[in-house]
Structure formats: C-alpha cells, structure tokens
Structure 1
Amino acid sequence: MVCPLHGATASENVRLKDLGRFLGWRDNMLVGYGIVSGLAGSGDTSRNQATRQALANALSQFDMTVTQDQIQSRNAALVIVTATLPPTSNVGDKIDINVTSMGDARSLAGGTLIMTSLRGPDRKTYALGQGPVSVGGYRYDANGNLRQKNHPTVGIVPLGATVEVPVHAELVLQDGNMNFVLKDADATTARRIEQQINQAMGPGVARSLDAKTIQVRAPRDALVMNDYVARIEALEVRPDQESRVVINERTGTVVAGGGTRISPVTISHGDIRVSVVTEYTASQPNLVSITGPGVRSLVVGNSDLSVEEPGQSVAASFPDGTVGNLVQALSKTRVSTRDVIAILQAIKAAGALHADLIIQ
C-alpha cells in the first residue's frame, strides 16, 4: 500500500497548543504500594514475606497484634499503585489509578484496594487511593488445566484516588517571562510562532531563543493569566516539516509527503527470474544379491538451471516533481508495492530523492 500525502498548503494551520506547551505545564507522576484484599485464593503465597509484613503493619493500625508467621491467607496481594496528577488539581478531585501485582499472585479479579498513599518524587502524599479493582482478564486453573485471558495481575480503579494537596502549574519564570516549548524542534516553526505571537499580542512580546523554545513576556496582572495563555494557545501557524519517506518492508507500506521533491530521474527496473530444479534418481547395482561393505544404491541428482528475463517492467523518465507524482505514475504502470520500495531506495542512493528515507 502506497500512501502519498498532499503537500502542505497555507490553509493547513495548526494551533499552538497542538505544537507544544508552556514550560511548567506538565503532568506529575505519583506512586505508592498497597494491599488488594478479597481475592478468591489467587493472592500471594506465604513465600512472600513482604506481603505478610504489609498485612501485619496494616492490622497493627487497628490495634491488632499479629505476627508474620500467623498470616497464611492467599486472599491478599501486595501491589504497586501508580497515578498521574494533572498540572492543575484541587482538593477533592478524582483521578484514575493503576494497580499491578508485585508478588506471585495469580489474579487480582474481585479484589479491593485498601487505602493507599500516593506520593510524588518529593515523598509527599498528594492523593489517597481506594476502591474495587477492575481487571480486564481472568485466570482459572484446575487439575493441570489453565485458562487465561489478558493480564489478570494488572487492573485499574476508575476515579479511585482523591487529591489531597492542590497543585498549580508555575508558568512564569523568575525573569517574568514564560517559555513555550515545541514538541518537535524546528527553527523555521519557532520563527513563525514568534512572528504570529508578536502580531497578535504586540511587538516584542515573543522572541525565539532556539529551535525549540520561544520566550513570551508574561502579563503584569496575574488575574488575566488564563485569558492571556488561552489567546496564545489559540493562535495558528503553519509548521515547517522535514521531508521524510517512511518505508515498511515487512508490510509493504510507503508513506510520503506529496511535497517531497525528486530531481529529474530515469528509471529502468527489470525483473530476472532464476530457478533451479533438481531431480534425484537411484542407480541400482547389477549384482543385487551380493551384500557387504561398500555395496549400496547410488543416488544421483540432475539439476536443471533456467534463467528467465521477461524484459523491462519499467522504463520511464520523470521530470522534476514530487514523490506523489512518481507513485501515481508507477501505479499506472502496475508496478507492485515491493518494486516501488526498491525504486525509492535506488533513487535515494542516486541522490535524486531530497528527503530522509526511513526504513522500518
């Protein structure tokens, strides 16, 4: 399958919020460990000392003194709990949490996560998680028979964590400016964003520091910060893209921008087929009644080598054009996708393809 894309036009503008983000506007990772209880005998075995210690510590919070040796239940499992805290979160907000088994539990299906503290890199607790674990799979085994679907030792608790500490993104740096960071560094795109912001917000508001960062002057009044950022993110520019041709030889797929240029080139693509056929025959000795060492049938192989050259499958000259024009012309001549891939590789080797050739 060959997919030539149309060339970029002036109408293909993209919002700034789709091209990058303001420095400081990022998600925050949270992690913690906890206990999933209520499992139907599919939890951690008694060999997991960490699970028994965690259960003993949990019971001690309720004034129950239980030693690790007294805990033999397989209805509980030790798990790692992870979550993503949005850049702006208030107390009481709900977020999803992921639960993964740490021990040798066979399944977390039917379990409930006991209240777990979710901490950030600074070891502070930002959220508390608890609730029934939803597992998109199962595992059942009996008498040596096993039935399993997906990964039953991984689950989620939808909206299972409650934010306890508010988080606010700090967009303004100490020098009173904000930095807009591009997802893909490109000097031309950064220059266009600078010009668009200065045109919409005023001269001298933005300045491109490098191919990835555009410095934007922050407003003096913090109360208008949200409106200020929203206006900038809604601005549209036409990003500059590198010319690339992506080839997947395994699936026979070619994806190329229609604006990718090709210098004048002449293509002559032939097809030579070589086949070797071998027939084996046995030569039987005349005195078959005589037996002994060295007396046996002789297998003789006769090989027939044939070479077929049906002629040139493609012999054409293409003027200065694009990859899209080349692919369309090759398609009209009924050239297979595999041959198109070979032709593009040869054009790149000849220096006529002005794009990066990426082979997957």
Structure 2
Amino acid sequence: MLARIFLVLTCAASLCSAPAAHAERLKDLASIQGVRQNQLLGYGLVVGLDGSGDQTTQTPFTVQSVISMLQGMGVNLPAATTLQLKNVAAVMVTTSLPAFARPGQTLDITVSSMGNAKSLRGGTLLMTPLKGADGQIYAMAQGSLIVGGVGAAAPGAKAQINHLSVGRVSAGATVERAVANSLQEGSAIFLELKESDFSTASLVVDAVNKRFGPNTAAAQDGRVIKVNAPMGTDERVAFLGALESLALTPAQGSAKIILNGRTGSIVMNQAVTLEACAVAHGNLSVVINTDASVSQPNALAAGQTVVTASSQIDITKEPGKVLLLKAGASLAEVVKALNAIGATPQDLLAILQAMKASGALRAELEII
C-alpha cells in the first residue's frame, strides 16, 4: 500500500532534495509582448493512397473537393458522373507561423484526416493555402507525407502500429506573407511574465535596473513590465539578447496540489505545508463471486439442460483508524505524513479535499 503512495508522490519527494531556489534566465520567465506564434489552418486533399482513402458514400465533401479542383484545372465532368474514389482523402493542415517569419521561409506541417480514410501512408498533399485567424493566406503547403505507423489487415485479423490518420511533412509549407510586429515601434518594450506574480515582477525590475541602469524597467502590474530600449535596430536586438540572458532567482510560487481524478495522480510543489490534524480512514470492500453450475436431466427424461448461477457476496469493512498528523513545514514532512495514512491514491483525493476544507492543508487544490 505504501509503495503505491510513494510512486504517486515520486515527483514531490524528489523536490525535497533539490535546492530551494535557483537562478533562471529571464527568457524562461517572461516573453516579449508582440513576439508570438500565429496558428495557420488549411483544408486540402491527399492523393496517391493505396486504396485506403475516404469512402465517398460517407464523405461527400471529398468528392465535391475533387470535382472543384478538376474544374479549376479545366476538366469539366458530366453532371451525372459518379466518382468512386479510393485513393483520395480530405485532410486538415495545421502549422504555426513563428515570429519574424519572412516570405520564402519553410515550415513543418501536420496533416490530419477528417474523413474515414484508413491510412494516409504514402500519400501526397496537394497545394493547400494556409490561412490565419483574419482569413488571409500566409503560407502554401504541399509535399509527400511521412506517417509514423504501419498497419495490415486480413479477413478476421488486423494489426496496427501507431496512428495512421495523421502525417507530417518536413518543410512542407512556404511562407508567402509576413506578419507585422510592433517590436521596433516606440521607445519601450513590454515583458509579460508567464505567471502573474507581484514578487517576481519586482525582482525582475530590480535585476534589469541593476544590469542596465536605474529607471530602465518599471512594473505595470503583476504580469507586465515596461522596459526602455534603444531605438536603433541593431542596438535594440543586442539589448533584447542581453535582456533575455539575464539570470535571476524568481520568487517562490504559491502552494499548489494537482489532483487527477481519472488516474489518481497527485503532484505537489515544495511550498505545500500542513497544519496538525486528525484523519480517520477506513475501507469498505464488496466481493461478489459467481459460479455457474449445470443441471443435466436423465437420458430418458424429457427435461432440458439448465445452467444456474450461484452467487456469493462478501462485505468486509476494515476498522477506521484515527491518525494524528503533525504539522509539516517542508514538503518532506508533508509526504511523510500522507504516507502514514496508508491510503490509496484514489482515497487521498478525498482526504486532501477534506483537509483543505478543514483549513489544515495550506495549498491550492486543482483538479484536472
């Protein structure tokens, strides 16, 4: 029982031996406002599949897309034509346009089937425009797919390794339009902390002013920090490079415990503390055993063979124990106290919630 608890709290216990605080680069704590990725999305067709494409009777949009593509190329089909396609699949193409991307730069793309294609292995993505949230085309995608899986099927048997309906094309998209940014505008840039914290914001301001001079940085709130930067392009880039490499020790985050009710996983950080409290824990188990017995009539009798089920139900309740948990000021003491309960990870979910409600647990509970 205790071994299971130790496995669940492995991450928490490992933090006990780590240093209480360490220096981190500013680029790991904050990002520059306006320097960000933009998501791109496109709809396209994958051709050249070996009979593993969409079933056109169930995915009519695949046939409509093929007809529209052929008409754009000057091929007009009779109105009564019924296409039976097995080597074509309708797909969605996704990628991220990085900051400062320029026309001609290539991007990796992910191609995902949106119909009932069995596999995209061996297929080729036809030219697909990739659009941003504003509806503008920012890249064009095309290329041969690489699918990290394989599958085979025969009557009554099927084998598959990995996922066959998603593929990737390295350097499969070419940037056609750049996204404007405001990095060179104004006399200041703004840093945005990845997690709002007034203490960390104050530490960042002190570190920047100590490195680049007084009044260089000023905190706007617990997340945004205004930093005065040089106006020249070369000077500003060099300044931002030095700014991102600045090392400082962030303030300790708030105490938090993450509970996963589906898997029973529990992870806590080193700021968690525990007040003295008493916990009662008992288990109720119900075991049902069913045996099937066959009643066979005599050879000359007109009866029928009957199968009857005999069930036995056992209910066992372990006596509840009241345990006194001493106050713990460190993560190691908290882990030791929780292990003393002798509960399973699933039981700990309810116990931690009850301890939080009683005020004995000094931490924020987040259930995912």
* Map of 2:116 onto structure 1: 104
Q: Which has the larger radius of gyration?
A: 1
**Equivalents in 2 of 1:142, 1:109: separation in Å?**
18
Residue correspondences, number? 330
Task: Give the letter aligned to residue 216 of structure 2.
Answer: V
Please say if residues 327 and 340 of structure 1, whose CA atoms lie closer than 8 Å, have aligned partners that are also in contact: no
* Map of 2:272 onto structure 1: 260
SS at match of 2:66: helix
SS at match of 2:75: coil
Q: Deviations over 1:221-279 (max 9, x none)?
A: 2222211111111112222300123345665554333343334x254x5566779999x
- Sequence identity (%): 36
**Equivalents in 1 of 2:100, 2:54: separation in Å?**
37
* Map of 1:23 onto structure 2: 33
Task: Give the letter aligned to residue 171 of structure 1.
Answer: L
1:35 aligns to 2:45 (yes or no) = yes
**Equivalents in 1 of 2:93, 2:349: separation in Å?**
46
Aligned pairs (5 A) from 1:187-198 = 187-198=198-209
Relative distance call for 1:41 and 1:277 in structure 2 (3 A) is closer
* Map of 1:283 onto structure 2: none
From 94, 98, 105, give the equivalent of 1:86.
Answer: 98
Deviation, structure 1 residue 10: 7.0
1:155 aligns to 2:167 (yes or no) = yes
**Equivalents in 1 of 2:29, 2:188: separation in Å?**
19
Task: Give the letter aligned to residue 99 of structure 1.
Answer: V
Relative to the length of structure 2, the TM-score reads: 0.75
1:178 aligns to 2:186 (yes or no) = no
Task: Give the letter aligned to residue 254 of structure 2.
Answer: E
* Map of 2:142 onto structure 1: 130
Q: Deviations over 1:137-175 (max 9, x none)?
A: 4555555655445442322212211223344643245x5
Aligned pairs (5 A) from 1:313-332 = 314-315=323-324, 318=326, 321-328=329-336
SS at match of 1:321: coil
Relative distance call for 1:9 and 1:152 in structure 2 (3 A) is closer
**Equivalents in 1 of 2:167, 2:314: separation in Å?**
62
Q: Deviations over 1:314-358 (max 9, x none)?
A: 446x35633422433665x68456587676555434323322234
Relative distance call for 1:71 and 1:319 in structure 2 (3 A) is closer
**Equivalents in 2 of 1:102, 1:275: separation in Å?**
46
SS at match of 2:61: helix
Please say if residues 197 and 222 of structure 2, whose CA atoms lie closer than 8 Å, have aligned partners that are also in contact: yes
Deviation, structure 1 residue 307: 7.7
Q: Deviations over 1:64-107 (max 9, x none)?
A: 33346264332222222221111122333221111122333332
Structure 1: stretches of 5+ with no match in the other structure? 279-302
Relative distance call for 1:347 and 1:7 in structure 2 (3 A) is farther
Relative distance call for 1:67 and 1:179 in structure 2 (3 A) is farther
Please say if residues 128 and 142 of structure 2, whose CA atoms lie closer than 8 Å, have aligned partners that are also in contact: yes
RMSD of Structure 2 on Structure 1 (CA):
3.6
**Equivalents in 1 of 2:217, 2:144: separation in Å?**
49
**Equivalents in 1 of 2:26, 2:128: separation in Å?**
38
Please say if residues 196 and 237 of structure 1, whose CA atoms lie closer than 8 Å, have aligned partners that are also in contact: yes
Relative to the length of structure 1, the TM-score reads: 0.76
